Structure 1
Amino acid sequence: MSGIFLSFAVNYLLQWLAGGPNEPLWLNQDAWRWMFIAMAVPAVLYGALTFTIPESPRYLVATHKIPEARKVLTRLLGQKNLEITISRIRQTLEREDRPSWRDLRKPTGGIYGIVWVGLGLSIFQQFVGINVIFYYSNVLWQAVGFSADESAIYTVITSVINVLTTLIAIALIDKIGRKPLLLIGSSGMAVTLITMAVIFGNATVNADGTPSLPGASGVIALIAANLFVVAFGMSWGPVVWVLLGEMFPNRIRAAALGLAAAGQWAANWLITVTFPGLREHLGLAYGFYGLCAVLSGLFVWRWVLETKGVSLEDMHGEILQQDKTAAG
């Protein structure tokens, strides 16, 4: 979240220095080109720093590189109980089977219900349209009458709100639980998205096909968009990732997390590539996102288990019971 904020802040700074995103800045290159160059700097730095990351001790033990495993464990944990830790890793590896997609299938056939729940959470997280707010925020607010400079400022403000509300989620998640936060978030997102759908659906259309929100409509749309980010940032943004890390039993975790992540990126791509074609029909777009927010709440209420205070070992028994209940 802080990375998104910093990228928007840098983009605004470069735009401000040049006098606009399409104005020349340095070396007679437009500001928007320097935005891409600026984002390449942390990417290169990240790539360089990956060479300093130690290999997983678990992997080193699994590949019989015990001296290297000792070095990494000493670096991470010190000399205390070093051989005991290596012995425990060996015992765990001996008990576990190699992760496989076949782990997702129940002995009686079909996919474990919890896998579908994880996939559903990942898809709904994207189908509420959160990345439309981030990816197309400048374009969106210019379309409703704000200048390029004003749009950039509002985008930075939105990213700050996202960071702050994520901190709220961190403070609340172990107090009120994962499921209540998701239900609260779904309700807030549904209200704000439907509000935006009504506003944009009744907007005046300019000659170029872009909507215009005169008077209070533009202000209400801006407030609704930021309240949507509040609802998402304190719930579906961070909480889904927490749930995905907790809800799967050890035996299927690797494959289930991989499938959930793939579903999330596929949904992200689908929402991202379809939005430009809906720019002239923003009421329809936000209506769809609002419907997904409503469905996400119903999905959580019916299918999502609360993982607060539940150990990973106990999750397996709850999942089996859930599958039996669904089958019955």
Structure 2
Amino acid sequence: MSEGSAGKVNMAFIAAIVAVATIGGFMFGYDSGVINGTQKGLESAFDLGKLGIGVNVGAILVGSSIGAFGAGRMADIIGRRGVMMLSAILFLVSAIIAGAAGSSAIFIVARIIGGLGVGAASVISPVYISEVTPAAVRGRLSSVQQVMIISGLTGAFVANFVLARYAGGSTASLWLDFPAWRWMFWLQAIPAAIYFLALLVIPESPRYLVARGQEERAREVLTRLFGAEEAARKVAEIRASLAADHHRPKLSDLIDKASGKVRPIVWTGIGLAVFQQLVGINVVFYYGATLWEAVGFSEDYALQTNILSGVLSIGACLATIALVDRIGRKPLLLIGSAGMAVTLATVAYAFSTAVTGADGAVSLPGNNGIIALVAANLYVIFFNMSWGPIMWVMLGEMFPNQIRGSGLAVAGFAQWIANAVVSVSFPSLVVSPGLAVAYCGYAFFALISFFFVRAMVNETKGRELEDMVG
């Protein structure tokens, strides 16, 4: 955006539609985090072992990978807002069925349905935000997505803690004689319904409208966002960026026509998406309560520890909002990689000292419990001030207009596949080779991610979307 038009930017309207779009991030977080604290209920209701728990927890990731892959392309067909509305419906349906599930199979289907919504929201909300915000503040407004993801996770942790405390345990009966863990899922229907209703009042992305030949509608939206003069300039700019390769976006656009190889920007996007998961963050999100109970914490204290991690995560994301458009995306990624490598290695050391008592209870000797808790929360802070929000910011803005939907489809699919590998494998890794070795692996990937960023990632701070090349 030109400086001369900056005064005409309708920041109140932009903030309002960003707030609505990021409810998708809240639902992403809530649907991902609600499973944390329900696992005792699932075990008892469906008679599940460690592998069964891994499959039931990981079921959402199957849907998420499909949802992420399909959403990028679908957004080029039915629009960014259309995909977000579909996600809201999927969240609502999933919440109702998961809470009512009478068997593991039905529960898995419900979680796959919710995963479709999570995957779609995870890639489309950042794109929508990047396409309706000025370049000068795009990073901080896009980072709100991660704040809302963590808020959703924390909201799920708080709801699970309150319901379990009120009922006397996650498997104890609550209202209408249903156990508390079922209500943990049903509560998700409330924010899902709010999300759907709020989406009815926000406009479609102007870049999508221009791509679909609806320039007058795009001009109207841009006028509300930036003023009439800037709207005319932006329509012409978007039209010009699409004119160089004027066909409807498709997956084959990801291959460079001259070389016949996948564009380098696509590999960068896939790398960012995969490394964000290989550092093990969703072990904390999905298995936090189970993890802390495994080293001697009570269920009540483990759930409180989840809430602490969530609050610290929100604070770290707020720091990112203040910094991302000042110091840039790449420096924050490098700081995060280095910090995560050190803190994960520390957690691995603490877990390596775990001892089992005569009664079979596991504990960490001396001050190692405190060391593990502090290091784990520092790790959460480093992640959420860097890779947590910045990966989504960059995926939403780094691809050229013509391949944005397709690039996000592939990167989003890769992200959720990596998420599934980490999350489904964790319960088995706890048994053998153990928590310490698992966390050494996550620390190793954090270290490798530092060198990946140095070599492959280009700074996007302050650049217009129409200027992105790949």
Same fold (TM > 0.5): yes
- Aligned counterparts of 2:463 and 2:238: Cα–Cα separation in 1: 26
Secondary structure, aligned partner of 2:399: coil
How many Å apart are 1:304 and its aligned residue? Answer: 1.3
- Going from structure 1 to structure 2, the CA distance change for 1:101 and 1:131 (only over 3 Å counts) comes to same
| Partner in structure 2 of residue 118 of structure 1 | 269
How many Å apart are 1:110 and its aligned residue? Answer: 0.8
- Aligned counterparts of 1:267 and 1:41: Cα–Cα separation in 2: 30
How many Å apart are 1:212 and its aligned residue? Answer: 2.6
- Letter in structure 2 aligned against 1:294: L
Pair 1:138-2:293 in alignment: no
| Partner in structure 2 of residue 285 of structure 1 | 438
- Going from structure 1 to structure 2, the CA distance change for 1:209 and 1:266 (only over 3 Å counts) comes to farther
Pair 1:109-2:257 in alignment: no
How many Å apart are 1:141 and its aligned residue? Answer: 0.8
- Aligned counterparts of 2:360 and 2:430: Cα–Cα separation in 1: 9
Pair 1:153-2:298 in alignment: no
| Partner in structure 2 of residue 306 of structure 1 | 459
- Letter in structure 2 aligned against 1:4: L
- Aligned counterparts of 2:229 and 2:428: Cα–Cα separation in 1: 60
5+ residue gaps in structure 1?
320-328
Given that residues 276 and 388 in structure 2 are in contact (C-alpha distance below 8 angstroms), is that contact kept between their aligned partners in structure 1? yes
How does 1:53-202 map onto structure 2 within 5 Å?
53-56=202-205, 69=217, 73=221, 76=224, 80=228, 84=232, 88=236, 91-92=239-240, 96-106=246-256, 107-202=258-353
Pair 1:270-2:421 in alignment: yes
Given that residues 73 and 82 in structure 1 are in contact (C-alpha distance below 8 angstroms), is that contact kept between their aligned partners in structure 2? no
Given that residues 61 and 89 in structure 1 are in contact (C-alpha distance below 8 angstroms), is that contact kept between their aligned partners in structure 2? no
- Aligned counterparts of 1:310 and 1:65: Cα–Cα separation in 2: 25
Given that residues 55 and 72 in structure 1 are in contact (C-alpha distance below 8 angstroms), is that contact kept between their aligned partners in structure 2? no
Secondary structure, aligned partner of 1:300: helix
- Aligned counterparts of 2:422 and 2:225: Cα–Cα separation in 1: 43
Percent identity reads: 47
TM-score by length of structure 1 reads 0.85
Could you tell me which of 42, 57, 66 is aligned with 2:191? 42
How many Å apart are 1:149 and its aligned residue? Answer: 0.9
- Aligned counterparts of 1:42 and 1:212: Cα–Cα separation in 2: 38
- Aligned counterparts of 2:333 and 2:310: Cα–Cα separation in 1: 20
RMSD: 3.0
5+ residue gaps in structure 2?
1-149
- Going from structure 1 to structure 2, the CA distance change for 1:79 and 1:143 (only over 3 Å counts) comes to closer
Query: Once structures 1 and 2 are overlaid, which stretch shifts more, 39-48 or 186-195?
Result: 39-48
- Letter in structure 1 aligned against 2:380: V
Query: Once structures 1 and 2 are overlaid, which stretch shifts more, 239-248 or 275-284?
Result: 239-248
Could you tell me which of 22, 33, 54 is aligned with 2:171? 22
TM-score by length of structure 2 reads 0.61
- Going from structure 1 to structure 2, the CA distance change for 1:74 and 1:164 (only over 3 Å counts) comes to closer
Pair 1:31-2:180 in alignment: yes
- Aligned counterparts of 1:309 and 1:29: Cα–Cα separation in 2: 52
- Aligned counterparts of 1:256 and 1:208: Cα–Cα separation in 2: 53
Query: Once structures 1 and 2 are overlaid, which stretch shifts more, 179-188 or 3-12?
Result: 3-12
Secondary structure, aligned partner of 2:155: helix
Pair 1:5-2:5 in alignment: no
- Going from structure 1 to structure 2, the CA distance change for 1:209 and 1:279 (only over 3 Å counts) comes to farther
Pair 1:228-2:379 in alignment: yes
- Aligned counterparts of 2:211 and 2:227: Cα–Cα separation in 1: 21
Given that residues 138 and 155 in structure 1 are in contact (C-alpha distance below 8 angstroms), is that contact kept between their aligned partners in structure 2? yes
| Partner in structure 2 of residue 296 of structure 1 | 449
CA deviations over 1:245-302 (Å, ceiling 9, x no partner): 3322333322212211111111111111111111221112111111110111111112
- Letter in structure 2 aligned against 1:73: V
Secondary structure, aligned partner of 1:27: helix
Given that residues 200 and 211 in structure 1 are in contact (C-alpha distance below 8 angstroms), is that contact kept between their aligned partners in structure 2? no
- Aligned counterparts of 2:390 and 2:159: Cα–Cα separation in 1: 28
Given that residues 330 and 459 in structure 2 are in contact (C-alpha distance below 8 angstroms), is that contact kept between their aligned partners in structure 1? yes
CA deviations over 1:3-44 (Å, ceiling 9, x no partner): 222121111111121122122222222211111111222223
- Going from structure 1 to structure 2, the CA distance change for 1:83 and 1:149 (only over 3 Å counts) comes to closer
- Going from structure 1 to structure 2, the CA distance change for 1:165 and 1:308 (only over 3 Å counts) comes to same
- Aligned counterparts of 1:252 and 1:70: Cα–Cα separation in 2: 19
Number of aligned residue pairs: give it: 316
Given that residues 215 and 235 in structure 2 are in contact (C-alpha distance below 8 angstroms), is that contact kept between their aligned partners in structure 1? no
- Going from structure 1 to structure 2, the CA distance change for 1:300 and 1:64 (only over 3 Å counts) comes to closer
- Aligned counterparts of 1:110 and 1:220: Cα–Cα separation in 2: 47
Given that residues 206 and 222 in structure 2 are in contact (C-alpha distance below 8 angstroms), is that contact kept between their aligned partners in structure 1? no
Query: Once structures 1 and 2 are overlaid, which stretch shifts more, 275-284 or 56-65?
Result: 56-65
- Going from structure 1 to structure 2, the CA distance change for 1:124 and 1:57 (only over 3 Å counts) comes to closer
- Going from structure 1 to structure 2, the CA distance change for 1:108 and 1:158 (only over 3 Å counts) comes to same
- Letter in structure 2 aligned against 1:2: S
How many Å apart are 1:242 and its aligned residue? Answer: 1.8
- Going from structure 1 to structure 2, the CA distance change for 1:111 and 1:74 (only over 3 Å counts) comes to closer
Secondary structure, aligned partner of 2:187: helix
